[in-house]
Structure 1
Amino acid sequence: MHAFRDTVERGDFDGLGDLLADDVVFRSPVAFRPYEGRPVVAAILRAVGRVFQDFRYTGELAGDGGRSALVFATRVGDVELHGCDFITVGDDGRITELTVMVRPLSAANALAEAMSAEFPRIQAEATEESA
């Protein structure tokens, strides 16, 4: 979790892929089905780095069994967004599960719209990384 937090706070969204397990599962706050696999999850996280503005972590909750949570605040356009990254780390130190929740609904809608615009690039990057 600390490596993830440090990497995000440095704005190194390209470096997040190195922290992900090959079979990582990402649960998005704006998509019904989870995304699976490092290439697509890394591409999604890079897109998040392009969409979020003034991102900052505001809290941290340590759990057991490799689970923890990071509380954050950011903006998507003019909409203030608050959320939480729920992170599970495997025995090898790589992230095996990442679930993101956001509030309020207006922020989730703004995030969905912004990420939808990023989706063609996400697909292209994931395909390129998989090859």
Structure 2
Amino acid sequence: MTHPFRTAVEADDHDAIHALLAEDVVFTSPVAFRPYRGRAITAAIVRGVSRVFEDFRYVREFSGADGRDHALVFEARVGDLAVNGCDLLHTDGEGRIDELVVMVRPLSAATALAEAMGAQFDRIAGEAREEEEGRGRPSGR
């Protein structure tokens, strides 16, 4: 069975992604300096990643026995560099994602991703701030 997060990402449906996130979701990545907590910033980061990754596709999916842990293996490009990665999801008792960990390799691609996301971070932070202040949220690119 395909996880709804995978379906939403593959459809580039950022409203659906937002709806799948718990209010207190924690986003962690090796290219982020610290974990980020909250639906608004996590949704904004996912939108930013969708602008940076090219030729993104999930290639495998695994779920834990209890149905609350999921691993979505993906491939993409950042510029000319191939990226292999995995979205690690944990869901709360209501089925919302309360932990999202993104792992990427190789180091050269992780570095390129960090640089590309860093260049967008003012936009990402602004999108999150707008949502938190009640001015709505961007839904796409």
User: Which category of TM-score, normalised to the shorter sequence, fits these structures?
Assistant: over 0.9
Q: Does 1:69 align with 2:62?
A: no
Q: Partner of 2:59 in structure 1?
A: 58
Other structure's SS at 1:117 match: helix
1:26 is paired with a residue whose SS is: strand
Q: TM-score, normalised by structure 1?
A: 0.96
What residue in structure 2 maps to residue 37 of structure 1? 38
Q: For residues 71-113 of structure 1, what are the alpha-carbon distances to aligned partners after superposition, in whole Å with 9 as ceiling and x for unaligned?
A: 0000011110000010001111110000010000000001001
Distance in 2, matches of 1:125 and 1:23, equals 17
Task: Please list every run of 5 or more consecutive structure 2 residues that lacks an aligned counterpart in the other structure.
Answer: 134-141
What amino acid maps onto 2:116 in structure 1? A
The root-mean-square deviation of aligned C-alpha atoms, in Å, is 1.1
The runs of at least 4 aligned residues of structure 1 exceeding 3 Å deviation read none
Deviation at 1:13, TM superposition (A): 3.2
Ranges in structure 1 where 5+ consecutive residues have no aligned partner: none
Partner of 1:3: 4
Q: In the alignment, which residue of structure 1 is the partner of 2:91? A: 89
Normalising to structure 2: TM-score of the pair? 0.89
Query: Equivalent residues in 2 for 1:2-21 (5 A)?
Result: 2-21=3-22
The alignment of Structure 1 onto Structure 2 pairs a total of residues equal to: 131
SS of 1:46's equivalent in the other structure is helix
Aligned to 2:81: 79
Q: CA deviation at 1:50?
A: 0.4
Q: Cα offset for 1:14?
A: 4.3
User: 1:29 and 1:75 mapped to 2: Cα distance?
Assistant: 17
Aligned residue among 92, 99, 102 for 2:101:
99
SS in structure 2 of the partner of residue 25 of structure 1: strand
Q: State the one-letter code of the partner of 2:73.
A: V
